[in-house]
C-alpha cells in the first residue's frame, strides 16, 4: 500500500522525469515518493528504485480513479525535460486538488505554472531543496496550495477543450517520418530525422511501427522531433503535408492522412550488400523529396536527448547479446575471457542488455527498461559490443565503441560516426548474410569464434589508452 503525504509522480517513464525523481529521492531519504506506472510496466519502475537501493519510493499501477491518489499527496512533480509537454494535464488536475506542483522549465509547463507553481532546471539538488520547503514550512506549503487552487480556475473544464484544440493545432507538424521497430533500424533513421528537421526548419513527427512503446524515446530529441507515436495510436487521423516512409517501416501501405506520401521502397529496396543503411535513408529522401544532405549529416545520430560526456571514472561497457534466431550467430563467445583479462589489468567492466546477456565477472547492469539502460550506459568511457541494437545505442550516445563483426556486413551495418569502429573477420565466407544468406538464415554460421581474444584485447587497450589523460 502507498504511504500518505508523499511527492507524487504520475508517470514512471524516464522521459517523464522518473530518472530525475530517483536522484531527488536519494537526497531526501525521509520523504516518501509515489510513482504511477501509467504507461510502462510496474516491474520496470520497481526494478529502477530497487537497483538504486531506495527505500522511500513506492510504485503503483495505473489508477482508474485518481482522486484518492491526489488526496494522499503533499506535492506533485512534473519533471518533463526530455518529453516536451504541449499541455500538461497533470499540472492543472493536481492543482484542482489544491496541490503545489513543481515542474520542469521546458515545454508548456512553465506557462501553466506561471502564476502558481515552481519551475526548476534539471538539477536534483534544486528539486530536493524545493521539496524540503514544502514538507518543512507549513506557511509556504499553504501559500503554494492557495495559488494552485486559484490557477486551476484559469483552466476550468468549460474552456479547456477549446484551449487544448488550439494547443494541438499549434504543435501539429507538417512532416511525418515513418520508421521500423528494430533498435538498429530506428537509430539508423536518426540522421535522416535530424536532417529533415534542419533542412525544413521545423521539428517533425515520427511514427514507429514498434513492438512495444518502451523504445519510442530513442527517436525523440526535442531539437528535431515534435512528437513520437506508435502506429497503434491516433496518428493516422492527424493531417500532414508530407509523410516519408523509410524502408524499415515495412511493406504495408498504411493510409496516412497527407497531401504527399513518399515510400522509400518506391525508389529502391535496402540491400545489406549495397549502400550503408544510414546513407540509404538520407539518399531516399533526397531522391524522392529533394531533401539534400552533406557528408557530415550522416554522423547526426541521436538517442533521445541524452548527451554523453566522458566520465571521471573509467568504465568499459559490454553488450554480449543480439536478437535471437539466426541473428544469435552475431554473438562473440569470448566476452567472459576478455572481462577476466581486463579486470586483471585493473579495468572496471560492466554488462548491459537483458538479464540473460550478463557476462560473468562484470558489474551487472542488465535488466530493466531500455531507457534505464541508456541512462546507465552514460557512465561508460568505452564500449564493446556485437552487431546489435545496443551497439547502435552506444554509437548514438557518442560513446567510443568497438564492434565485432563476422556474419553481418560492417560496411552497411556499422554506424558511421568516427568514434565507432569494428573488428571485422577477414574470411572468404564472411559476411555470410551476403555470401551465404540461406545458411545464415538457418543459423549455421560459427565465424564469430574466429575473432581472437588477443586481437580484441590489443585493439581495446590501444583505444582505451589513447583516451586516457596523459
Q: Is 263 helix (H, G, I), strand (E, B) or coil?
A: strand
CATH architecture of structural domain 172-299: 3-Layer(aba) Sandwich (3.40)
Q: Specify the DSSP element, H or E, that contains 465.
A: helix 453-467
HSE, side-chain direction, 13 A CA sphere, residue 338? 27
Structure confidence at residue 84 (pLDDT): 63
Joined grid coordinates for residue 363: 558489474
Q: What is the pLDDT of residue 327?
A: 76
Q: How far apart are the C-alpha atoms of 103 and 105, rounded to whole Å? A: 7
Given the C-alpha cell 582505451, which residue does it identify?
464
- pLDDT at residue 1 in the model: 38
Q: From the CB of residue 394, how many other CB atoms can be counted at a distance below 10 Å?
A: 32
Would the pTM count as exceeding 0.75?
Answer: no
Which cell numbers hold the place of 243? 509523410
**Which pLDDT does position 462 carry in this prediction?**
93
CATH 3.40.50.2000 fits 316-467, yes or no: yes
Placement of cell 535471437 in the chain = 324
Distance CA 143, CA 155 (A): 19
Among 3.40.225.10, 3.40.50.150, 3.40.50.360, 3.40.50.2000, name the CATH number for the domain at 6-167: 3.40.50.2000
CB 416 within 8 A of CB 276: yes
48-75 burial by CB neighbour count: b if 16+ within 10 A, else e? Answer: bbeeeebebbbbbeeeeebeebbeebbb
What digits encode the pLDDT tens for the residues 441-466? 777 778 899 999 999 999 999 998 87
Instruction: Return the pLDDT at 290.
Output: 97
Cβ neighbors of 69 (< 8 A, separation 6 or more) are 2, 8, 34, 36, 60, 63
Asked whether the beta carbons of 48 and 18 are under 8 A apart, the reply is yes
pLDDT at 169: 43
Task: Specify the pLDDT at position 329.
Answer: 87
Distant-in-sequence, close-in-space partners of 439: CB < 8 Å, separation ≥ 6:
432, 445
Q: What is the pLDDT of residue 154?
A: 75
Q: What is the pLDDT of residues 50-79, one digit of tens each?
A: 999 999 999 999 888 899 999 999 999 999
Domain ranges (residues) in the chain: 6-167, 172-299, 316-467
**pLDDT per residue as tens digits for the range 298-345:** 999 999 989 899 999 999 999 998 888 877 889 999 999 999 999 999
pLDDT given at position 450: 93
Q: How confident is the model at residue 386, as a pLDDT?
A: 95
Q: Quick check: 92 and 152 in contact, CB under 8 A?
A: yes
Sequence-separated (6 or more) residues with CB below 8 Å from residue 324: none
**Rounded CA separation 112/69 (Å):** 21
Residue 119, number of CB atoms within 10 A of its CB: 17
User: Is residue 285 within 8 Å of residue 291, measured between CB atoms?
Assistant: yes
431, 407 contact by CB (below 8 A): yes
- 61 DSSP assignment: E
| CA nearest to 1, candidates 64, 60, 73 | 60
* Per-residue confidence (pLDDT) for residue 391, from 0 to 100: 96
* Mean pLDDT value across the chain: 89
For residues 188 and 173, give the distance between their C-alpha atoms in angstroms, rounded to a whole number: 22
Query: Tens place of pLDDT for every residue, the chain, 470 residues?
Result: 346 699 999 999 888 899 999 999 999 999 999 999 988 899 999 999 999 999 999 999 988 889 999 999 999 999 988 766 656 788 889 999 999 999 998 877 887 887 788 999 999 999 999 999 999 999 999 999 999 998 888 766 555 555 454 445 445 568 999 999 889 999 999 999 999 999 999 999 999 987 665 788 899 998 999 989 888 767 888 899 999 999 999 998 999 999 999 999 999 999 988 999 999 999 999 999 999 999 999 999 999 989 899 999 999 999 998 888 877 889 999 999 999 999 999 999 999 999 999 999 999 999 888 888 999 999 999 999 999 999 999 999 999 999 999 988 999 999 999 999 999 998 887 887 777 777 777 777 788 999 999 999 999 999 988 776 54
Q: What pLDDT, on the 0 to 100 scale, is given for residue 211? A: 63
**Pairing of β 349-351 and β 401-405:** unpaired
Amino acid at each position: 500500500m502507498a504511504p500518505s503525504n508523499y511527492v507524487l509522480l504520475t508517470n514512471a517513464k524516464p522521459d517523464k522525469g522518473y530518472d530525475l525523481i530517483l536522484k531527488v529521492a536519494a537526497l531526501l531519504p525521509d520523504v516518501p515518493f509515489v510513482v504511477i506506472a501509467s504507461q510502462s510496466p510496474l516491474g520496470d519502475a520497481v526494478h529502477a528504485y530497487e537497483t538504486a537501493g531506495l527505500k522511500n519510493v513506492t510504485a503503483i499501477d495505473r489508477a482508474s480513479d485518481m482522486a484518492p491518489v491526489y488526496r494522499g499527496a503533499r506535492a506533485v512533480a512534473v519533471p518533463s525535460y526530455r518529453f516536451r509537454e504541449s499541455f500538461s494535464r497533470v499540472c492543472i488536475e493536481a492543482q484542482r486538488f489544491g496541490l503545489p506542483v513543481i515542474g520542469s522549465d521546458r515545454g508548456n509547463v512553465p506557462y501553466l505554472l506561471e502564476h502558481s507553481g515552481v519551475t526548476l532546471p534539471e538539477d536534483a539538488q534544486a528539486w530536493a531543496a524545493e521539496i524540503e520547503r514544502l514538507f518543512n514550512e507549513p506557511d509556504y506549503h499553504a501559500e503554494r496550495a492557495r495559488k494552485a487552487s486559484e490557477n486551476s480556475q484559469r483552466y476550468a473544464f468549460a474552456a479547456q477543450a477549446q484551449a487544448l484544440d488550439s494547443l494541438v493545432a499549434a504543435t501539429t507538424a507538417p512532416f511525418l517520418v515513418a520508421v521500423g521497430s528494430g533498435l538498429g533500424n530506428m537509430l539508423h533513421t536518426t540522421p535522416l530525422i535530424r536532417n529533415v528537421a534542419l533542412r525544413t526548419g521545423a521539428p517533425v513527427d515520427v511514427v514507429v511501427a514498434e513492438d512495444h512503446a518502451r523504445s519510442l524515446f530513442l527517436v525523440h530529441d526535442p531539437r528535431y522531433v515534435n512528437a513520437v507515436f506508435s502506429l497503434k495510436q491516433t496518428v493516422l487521423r492527424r493531417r500532414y503535408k508530407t509523410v516519408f516512409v523509410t524502408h524499415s517501416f515495412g511493406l504495408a501501405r498504411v493510409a496516412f492522412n497527407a497531401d504527399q506520401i513518399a515510400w522509400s521502397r518506391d525508389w529502391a529496396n535496402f540491400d545489406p550488400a549495397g549502400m550503408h543503411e544510414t546513407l540509404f535513408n538520407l539518399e531516399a529522401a533526397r531522391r524522392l523529396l529533394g531533401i539534400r544532405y552533406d557528408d557530415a549529416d550522416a554522423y547526426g545520430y541521436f538517442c533521445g536527448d541524452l548527451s554523453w560526456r566522458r566520465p571521471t571514472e573509467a568504465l568499459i561497457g559490454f553488450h554480449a547479446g543480439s536478437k535471437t534466431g539466426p541473428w544469435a550467430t552475431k554473438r562473440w563467445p569470448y566476452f567472459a575471457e576478455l572481462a577476466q583479462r581486463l579486470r586483471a589489468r585493473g579495468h572496471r567492466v560492466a554488462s548491459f542488455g537483458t538479464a540473460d546477456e550478463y557476462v560473468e565477472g562484470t558489474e551487472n547492469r542488465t535488466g530493466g527498461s531500455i531507457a534505464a539502460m541508456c541512462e546507465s550506459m552514460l557512465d561508460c568511457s568505452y564500449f564493446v559490443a556485437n552487431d546489435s541494437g545496443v551497439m547502435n545505442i552506444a554509437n548514438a550516445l557518442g560513446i567510443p565503441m568497438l564492434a565485432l563483426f563476422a556474419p553481418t556486413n560492417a560496411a552497411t551495418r556499422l554506424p558511421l560516426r568516427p568514434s565507432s569502429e569494428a573488428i571485422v573477420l577477414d574470411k572468404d565466407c564472411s559476411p555470410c548474410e551476403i555470401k551465404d544468406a540461406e545458411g545464415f538464415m538457418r543459423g549455421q554460421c560459427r565465424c564469430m569464434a574466429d575473432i581472437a581474444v588477443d586481437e580484441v584485447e590489443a585493439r581495446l587497450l590501444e583505444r582505451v589508452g589513447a583516451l586516457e589523460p596523459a
